[in-house]
Amino acid sequence: MAENFRVEYPLAHIYHVMHKIGLSIQTAQSIAYQADSGEQRHWHNQFKKSGRR
């Protein structure tokens, strides 16, 4: 963005501006809370590394 508009902002200021206009930073969760835990275990066990190459 700095290349297009020749303006740079510190990351802390970006958070402040986003909060002021009603936006927030969202991050991904490693596990979906609504998922079936049994299905998750089954899937994880299928793709678990064996430790051998």
Q: What value does the CA radius of gyration of the chain take, rounded to a whole number of Å? A: 21
Residue 52 clears pLDDT 60, i.e. is over it: no
Q: What is the mean pLDDT of the chain?
A: 80
Cα–Cα distances (Å) from 41 to 6, 33, 35, 45, 51, in that order, read 49, 14, 11, 6, 18
- pTM (2 decimals)? 0.37
> Which alpha helices (DSSP H) does the chain contain, by range?
2-5, 11-20, 37-47
**Residue 22 · residue 28 · CB < 8 Å:** no
Select the more confidently predicted residue: 15 or 3: 15
Q: What is the mean pLDDT of residues 20-44?
A: 81
Smallest Cα–Cα separation from 20: which of 31, 12, 10, 30? 12
Select the more confidently predicted residue: 50 or 6: 6
Residue 45 clears pLDDT 80, i.e. is over it: yes
Which pLDDT belongs to residue 33?
73
